[in-house]
């Protein structure tokens, strides 16, 4: 079985307040993009995990792919598997690659072992692995609220737009980003996202940008450059460090090609 876990971008990200359970109340519009890792899952006599592509600096049992398998094994009568993960989506970049990998392990094992789990069951399982994981159980864009577990359909269509993403290879841990957070927004992303995209520049914000730009000024310079070259909207995705721009016309490569990619949505 070969699966292609996608990356995502955040079209706005409101961190509203810190909850009593230690998590943060948030609101975002998450949108999957055509940038993929590759995940191979095969039945095996013993569990084996192999990772290639971009280097992941974590122990095997700390990898979300392995955690997802262990979670499924502890809840259901499934056999062992061999999993090969090829990483293309950079880590600590705000693109959700690790969360997507974990969600797709759950989706893959559900099919491989004919578990017939509902979407809600798989979302609940994936929430145990991380707040962004449930979003990847389905392919549609969603307004996401709560700590990332509450979803609402959103009528947004970026088809035909060009997307440019620039990852400066600055790893920002989600935990550190939340610890530095001091910019809490209270506007409605859902209302803004339904306005013409030309209005997003002034109204659609990411709560993590202030601290990220303060600590890493080069990230803000990237965002400014995307606007200078014609982006109709540019933002940091998630807690960073990736900056993306949306364009009506195909943009040119203007950074080191190791750090930037261009897609048609």
- For 141-152, write each residue's pLDDT tens digit: 999 998 888 999
Q: Start-end ranges of CATH 3.30.230.10 in the chain? A: 2-153
Alpha-carbon distance 73 to 221, whole Å? 46
Q: Start-end ranges of CATH 3.30.70.890 in the chain? A: 162-264
138 confidence band (pLDDT: 50, 70, 90): very high
For 162-264, CATH number out of 3.30.70.890, 3.40.600.10, 3.40.50.720, 2.60.40.10 equals: 3.30.70.890
CATH architecture of 2-153: 2-Layer Sandwich (3.30)
Buried b (16+ CB within 10 A) or exposed e, 208-234: bbebbbeebeebbebbebbeeeebbbb
Predicted TM-score of the model (pTM) = 0.92
Residues noted as catalytic? 8, 132
Q: Cα-atom radius of gyration of the chain, to the nearest Å?
A: 18
Half-sphere exposure of 238 (CA within 13 A, CB side): 28
Residue range 76-90, pLDDT digits in tens: 999 999 999 999 999
* Best CA proximity match to 25, nearest among 153, 178, 233: 178
């Amino acid at each position: 079985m070969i699966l292609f876990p996608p990356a995502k971008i955040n079209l706005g990200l409101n961190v509203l307040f810190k909850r009593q359970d230690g998590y943060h109340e948030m609101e975002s519009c998450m949108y999957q993009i055509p940038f993929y890792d590759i995940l191979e899952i095969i039945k095996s006599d013993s569990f084996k995990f192999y990772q290639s592509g971009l280097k992941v600096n974590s122990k095997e049992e700390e990898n979300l792919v392995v955690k997802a398998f262990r979670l499924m094994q502890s809840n259901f009568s499934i056999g062992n598997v061999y999993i090969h993960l090829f990483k293309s989506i950079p880590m600590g970049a705000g693109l959700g690659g690790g969360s997507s990998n974990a969600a797709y392990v759950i989706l893959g094992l559900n099919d491989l072992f004919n578990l017939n789990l509902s979407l809600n069951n798989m979302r609940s399982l994936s929430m145990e692995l991380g707040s962004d994981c449930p979003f990847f159980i389905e392919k549609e864009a969603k307004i996401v609220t709560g700590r990332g577990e509450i979803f609402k359909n959103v009528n947004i269509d970026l088809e035909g737009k060009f997307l440019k993403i620039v990852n400066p290879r600055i790893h920002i841990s989600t935990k550190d980003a939340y610890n530095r957070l001091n910019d809490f927004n209270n506007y409605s992303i859902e209302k803004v996202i339904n306005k013409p995209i030309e209005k997003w520049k002034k109204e659609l914000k990411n709560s993590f940008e202030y601290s990220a730009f303060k600590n890493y000024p080069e990230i803000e310079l990237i965002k400014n450059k995307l606007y200078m070259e014609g982006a109709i909207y540019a933002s940091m995705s998630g807690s960073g460090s990736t900056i993306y721009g949306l364009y009506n016309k195909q943009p040119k490569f203007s950074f080191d090609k190791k750090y930037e990619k261009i897609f048609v949505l």
